[in-house]
Chain A
Amino acid sequence: MLKSITKEDFFTRVGELSNDFEIIGPMELPLKGIFYQSILNTEDLYLGDGFAIEPIKKFFLEPSTRLLRYPWKNEPGVESFSPPERERIAIGVRPCEAKGLVLLDSVFDPPASSDLIPNSAPGAGKKSSNRAGSTYQDAFYTNNRKRTIIVGLACGRPDRCCFCTSLGVSPAGTTGMDVLLFEIEGGFAIEIITDRGKGIFGALGKELSEEEKKLLTSVNNKREDLLEKKIRVPESMDTIFTSDYWDKVSRSCISCGICTYLCPTCHCFDLIDERRIKLRCYDGCSFPHFTLHASGENPRPTKKERYRQRVFHKFDYFKINFGENLCVGCGRCIRFCPVKIDIGDIVDKAPLSKKR
């Protein structure tokens, strides 16, 4: 269902919805950039061409999640935190980020399947194929997904770091969206994708005229051409695991967490005990202490092994386990890398033909 709606009507509707829903959306902070935040005034909502620094991931797989609290003294058992119930609408989510959520779903919220036993230890469920998959429903992530409606915004100006089309994502892709907005003159074209989307925006706007439809289709057809960066993604990287290529490409890495923390699909985490609370916080394979064992042994002791882990997790292991690349080409890791390491370039130029 495709309709058109004026900006005023759209924002008025969002204002109404904010009575029943928490509104999450991009907000522009002067001189700082664009940040997804809980929006209190609808006029703060930024629906321009710029991209948020952090992906929408942080509202689903949170930077820190309180998992449980230990009781005082020697009382048995643990207290659990009741999951938040407030329903949310995330507005302005980009197609790459929404696709990122769908990829995270396969890890934290896998589709229930009769021959997979949910909530059991990994490997306990019968595998329906030779893919390892996931059988674990993460209560916190699943709850966040369930209570959030995704209202996307098609991209009008991909920058030179964007390479989503190389990973099967389109600047107007609807994967993972309940509603997708397209900026048109005077307002938005609004595509209702799911019943949840229909529930909030269904009664709004008017049918697009044939002419408007044609115009939108022609704009949409050109969107993919706006991307300058195109990369070749190999089927497997198995043959170059031991290559000295990884040493070369990781040498300038400073081992910070920007690429992993800002990635819409990276999901490594660390469990931390603080003041009787067990927390789940982001972790990243770029950090020197990633996979450092209590014994002092580290199977990934240098930048070479850690950077290779990042590339292999995205373009090899995840594909083996879940059938897809764990990258949506959003370009954040390139845009914000302090030393301009370009994962697209590195994957594209990987010396697969030669076994070095």
Chain B
Amino acid sequence: MNVELRKKAKELLKTKQVEMIIGYQRGPDGISATPVFITREEEAENLIWDVYCVYNLSNYLKDFPGKKIGIIAKECDVRSIIVLLQENQLKRDDIFIIGVECSGVIAEHTLASGKESPGELDFDEKCKACRPSTPRLYDYLVSQKDQKDKGVLPEENPYQDIRKFEAKSIEERFKFWQEEFSRCIRCYACRQICPMCYCPRCVADQTMPTWFSRAPDLEGNLAWNVIRAFHLAGRCIDCGECERACPVGIPLREVNKKIEKDIKELFDYEAGAGVDQKPLLSCFDQNDPEDFIR
């Protein structure tokens, strides 16, 4: 399928349908994938798509406003592109989505343990809640028929862990998150890697006034992490990039998932489900539940 992918990329560049293609290439370690930005046909030979391609490349689309960009995207990446389209951050005509069929990517941190082949490696947690799938939106689909992946099956109940956690007392939950957030170093990798975090001036960077402490101590860390999570309510599509990027291992997906679950249960809304869907916070229904407003 890499052959087909490269062929299509070359064609898009040759016919000037796009000025650049954002995709994956093999990293310097010979195993993992890294993002690559291709503008010349011959560079298309570097493109790859396999289980090591964990990144959500849609984060880079905002770097090239007004340009025609081709992007290689799996289902979760496509859902974030959909949210960006809903929020008018992208023009549909400016992007060409080369969809790739995905049956799960590897958990990148397991690479550090010395394991290398796909068989030995675990699938990423986010993939365990996802069906092996064809992207819901694409301009061209590279199908995976010549590559047989083991694939992952979706968990029967994706919110099982969240429910277990909810059952704990407030004190226990607070203690858990205090411990987790106390390690935060405020590198803002979670924000920088998130396709949905595109504010030109983040609240965390404002100093006139300072909205919460910029020092990486518990108070400021709690504020930052809660604000980050809330700002993603109804927008996070669970690509898991924040958790992957976090150098100190804070389980950020659990925060995101909790909000995702509440929104699903309260409003029957799923972020990034379709281009025609309105953003959650801009649709209001008289029948919306309001028991939580006190």
Contacts and interface: CB of A to CB of B under 8 A. Distances in A.
A342 B191 CA distance: 21
A99 B27 CA distance: 29
Contacts of A64: 214-217
Contacts of B205: 287, 289
Interface stretch (B78-86, B124-132, B134-142, B242-250): B242-250
Contacts of B247: 53, 258, 262, 336
B187 interface: yes
Contacts of A261: 185-187
B207 interface: yes
B217 A252 contact: no
A147 to B, nearest CB: 21
A252 B34 contact: yes
A258 B213 contact: no
B214 A274 contact: yes
Contacts of B191: 256
B192 interface: yes
Interface residues of A, number: 37
A336 B112 CA distance: 11
Contact of A33 (B63, B188, B214, B248): B248
Given A252-B35, A255-B192, A342-B28, A274 B185 contact: no
Interface in A143-179: 159-160
B242 to A, nearest CB: 10
Main secondary structure of the interface of B (DSSP, over half): loop
14 contacts: A31-B249, A32-B183, A35-B183, A53-B248, A159-B112, A256-B189, A257-B186, A273-B210, A274-B213, A279-B215, A281-B214, A281-B216, A339-B34, A340-B32
For chain B, which range describes its interface: under 10, 10 to 19, 20 to 34, or 35 or more residues?
A: 35 or more
A98 B248 CA distance: 22
A278 to B, nearest CB: 11
B184 to A, nearest CB: 10
Interface string B195-211: 00000010001010010
Contacts of B188: 256-257, 287
B210 A274 contact: yes
B55 A339 contact: yes
B59 interface: yes
Given A257-B188, A258-B189, A339 B35 contact: yes
B29 interface: yes
B183 to A, nearest CB: 7
A251 B37 contact: yes
Contacts of B193: 254, 256, 338
Contacts of A20: none
A340 B27 contact: yes
Nearest to A252: B35
B34 A340 contact: yes
B34 A281 contact: no
Interface string B15-30: 0000000000001110
B277 to A, nearest CB: 27
Given A256-B193, A338-B244, A63 B55 contact: no
Nearest to B205: A289
Nearest to A257: B187
A279 B189 contact: no
A258 B247 CA distance: 7
Given A261-B185, A272-B215, 15 more contacts: A252-B34, A256-B192, A258-B189, A258-B247, A262-B185, A262-B187, A272-B207, A273-B207, A274-B215, A279-B214, A284-B187, A287-B205, A289-B205, A340-B28, A340-B34
